[in-house]
Every structure is written in C-alpha cells, then in structure tokens.
Amino acid sequence: MDRNALLAGGAIGIVAIALVTALVVPGVLADPTDDGPVRPGRISVSEVTIAAGAATGETATLDIETRIEHGGNPTDNVSVLVRAIDEESGLRMATEQVSVGNLTRDGEVTAGTNLTVPREGGYDIDVILYRNAERVDTAQQRIRGVEAIKPPYLRTNTEFTESEALPPVSFSIAEAGDNRSTLDVGATLTNTGDTPTDDLSVRFVLRQAESNIVASQSTVDVGEVGPGRTATVETPVTVPNDYNYYIDAVLVRDGVVIDTARGAANLNPTRTISVNETTEEVELEVSDFEDSDTTSGDDDYRTEESGATQTGTPGFGPVVALVALCASVLALRRWRQ
C-alpha cells in the first residue's frame, strides 16, 4: 500500500474520532471566549434611615430602611442584618435579618427592617450587608431619646407653656387669714397642634417644701383649647400661713399623666424657695396641716393625765420620811451608849 495514502487515511481517522468525541462529550473543547466563573457584582450600603414606629408604655418600634447600591454582574443571595445595641450597657437588645434576594440590575434597592426595643435611653444601630453569608459592608447610626416616642394614649398637642412671660404655674392670694390663706393657683397651657382638645384636666398638688406634706390639692377641667391657642385654668386652695410650698400641676387625660410642671409659693417672709433649690431643715408644726374639723378629746385626756403625773411627788410621802428620820436618830444614840 502506498505510504502516503496510509498516512492520509490515519489523519482522516484521527480527525473523525476527535469530531465524534466532541459531539458525544460536551466541554472537551474549551470555548476561547470563556473567562471562567462569573464574578458577582459590587454591592454596598449607601444610606440608613430610622423612623419612629408604633409604641407602647414599655417598648418602641424603630422602622429602619437600608438602601443598597448594586452595580456590575448579577449578585445572588444578598441579605441585611440589623441589630440595636444599648448605648449605656453595650448589650444587644434586638436583632433582625431580612433577605434581599438576587440583584441583577444596576442601581439602588431598599431593605426594610423593624426593631422593637425598650422605650428608654439610646441605641447604636448596626447594619451588616451579606452576600452568600459573607460580610461585604457595614454601617452604623445612633439614636437618642427613645422615650420621646410616645404611645397613642400619651400623645397630645396641648402642654404646659415654657415662657417667662407666661409661666406654666402661678398663684395669687385670694384671701389672707390669721392662720390660713386661700390661694388662686393657675396653669397655662398651649395647643401647638391643628385640632382642638377638650378632654384634659389639671390636678394641682401643694406640698410643704421642707416636709413634702400635702397641704391641699384640687382638680379642674381644662375645657376646649383651640389650635394655636393658649388657655389658663385656675382653682382656689387653702393652706396654712408662714410656710413655703411647691405647686405641682399635673396634666391628665382619662387617668393618664400627659405633662407636669412645678411652681413655688413663698408664704414664709423669712425664707424663700424656688423649683430648683435644695431644701433645708426648718421647724414644722404638723398640727397646722390637720383638718380643721379634727376632734381632740383623746389628746385632752392624755394631757390632763400627763399633767397629774408630773405634779405628783415621786417616791415616799412626807410622813414616811419623818418616821425614818426619827428611827435613824434613836439607832444612833443606842449605838453611842
């Protein structure tokens, strides 16, 4: 057989076998345009915003919105973990993780998370971005004064004024007596909202400054306060003279304390107090704060009984003392004899 023909037949056979193998076994021939596995696109936390959500007397819910920026190739299995750390103790108070899924388009996507924390103090909010359980980026926000997030029953647009010209609590002397005086105590409130309020009342409590004894208290309805309007409520109270008092005004709605304010009434001309002043020890006559109709029959009986005991002579009577003296003289004479 011709040698050239034999070589040609062998080459043809090898080419045929290669073609059959490529058809039967996919992937044997590499694609010259293939660059290997596709790298995921870039992702990062672009912004974190926090808003106040629902609240109860003990807890507050924080609505946290995380904006994620994506670009390049598709990115699979993206998630966001959010946690609240107490600013004072450093303890983790709440944690939530939300799945974002697969990102294919360039731009920003939003992931919303809700965290419920105790309604007090402040928190550091940590946001951690994951891709396939691998941490990619982090961000942090700080919030303070969570107690300002009030539940519905504490929300009102009417509160005590904060002005030197219109102090929240004031008083005037309506009637001055020898032992007691009647004061007209008042409170000034302002409605800062857009709707009127008409379901509020103010409770006035007068406490003797040094002892904290409640000398008098009274409650008065506020009535309707229009939007943007200021109203003053007054009520008379009677207290003993020559003492100084703190006037506590408590704004109440349906048994719930909404706001408080304090003033001072100085009825002792030799000593004055203010709402920010430290108290000192003074002489106090508790009977001045008793009700005027209190009976004292038992006290009179005790006084008379006590007086009789004090005027009586303690020990032996005078006759017994004289007999004892004579016996001592006789015993002394006999001893000398």
pLDDT value for 165: 86
- Band (298; pLDDT cuts 50, 70, 90): very low
pLDDT value for 302: 37
- Band (163; pLDDT cuts 50, 70, 90): confident
Taking residues 162-178, what's their average pLDDT? 90
pLDDT value for 273: 67
pLDDT value for 292: 45
pLDDT over threshold 60, residue 330 = no
Domain 156-289 of CATH type 3.40.50.920: no
Token pair belonging to 298: 């038992």
Q: List, in sequence order, every residue forming a beta bridge with 137; answer none if it has no partner.
A: 129
Spatial distance between the Cα atoms of 170 and 254, rounded to a whole number of angstroms: 24
Q: Is the pTM of this model over 0.75?
A: no
Spatial distance between the Cα atoms of 99 and 86, rounded to a whole number of angstroms: 25
Spatial distance between the Cα atoms of 208 and 247, rounded to a whole number of angstroms: 9
pLDDT over threshold 90, residue 113 = yes
Spatial distance between the Cα atoms of 206 and 287, rounded to a whole number of angstroms: 17
pLDDT over threshold 50, residue 316 = no
- Show contacts of 304-309: CB within 8 Å, 24+ apart: none
Amino acid at position 113, single letter: T
- Band (33; pLDDT cuts 50, 70, 90): low
Taking residues 246-262, what's their average pLDDT? 93
Spatial distance between the Cα atoms of 219 and 148, rounded to a whole number of angstroms: 27
Token pair belonging to 75: 């990115």
Using one digit for the tens of pLDDT, what is the confidence trace for 185-230?
999 999 999 999 888 999 999 999 888 999 999 999 999 999 999 9
Token pair belonging to 267: 């009825």
**Among candidates 238, 290, 293, which has minimal Cα distance to 267?**
238
Q: Is-contact 250 257, C-beta < 8 A?
A: yes
Indicate the CATH number of 42-148 among 2.60.40.10, 3.90.1150.10, 2.40.128.50, 1.10.645.10: 2.60.40.10
Token pair belonging to 113: 């998370």
Spatial distance between the Cα atoms of 313 and 319, rounded to a whole number of angstroms: 13
Alpha carbons within 13 A on the beta-carbon side of 191 = 19
Q: Is-same-fold flag (42-148; 156-289)?
A: yes
Taking residues 238-257, what's their average pLDDT? 93
Query: Looking at 17-26, 38-47, 62-71, which range is the least confident one?
Result: 17-26
Q: For residue 152, give the 3-state DSSP assignment.
A: helix
Q: What percent of the chain has pLDDT over 90?
A: 57
pLDDT value for 123: 97
Amino acid at position 92, single letter: R
Spatial distance between the Cα atoms of 137 and 111, rounded to a whole number of angstroms: 14
pLDDT value for 248: 96
Averaged pLDDT score across all residues of the chain: 81
DSSP state of 40: P
Spatial distance between the Cα atoms of 68 and 113, rounded to a whole number of angstroms: 13
- Band (231; pLDDT cuts 50, 70, 90): very high
Q: For residue 44, give the 3-state DSSP assignment.
A: strand
Taking residues 109-129, what's their average pLDDT? 96
Spell out the domain ranges in the chain.
42-148, 156-289
Spatial distance between the Cα atoms of 57 and 147, rounded to a whole number of angstroms: 9
Q: List, in sequence order, every residue forming a beta bridge with 79; answer none if it has no partner.
A: 99, 130
DSSP state of 38: P
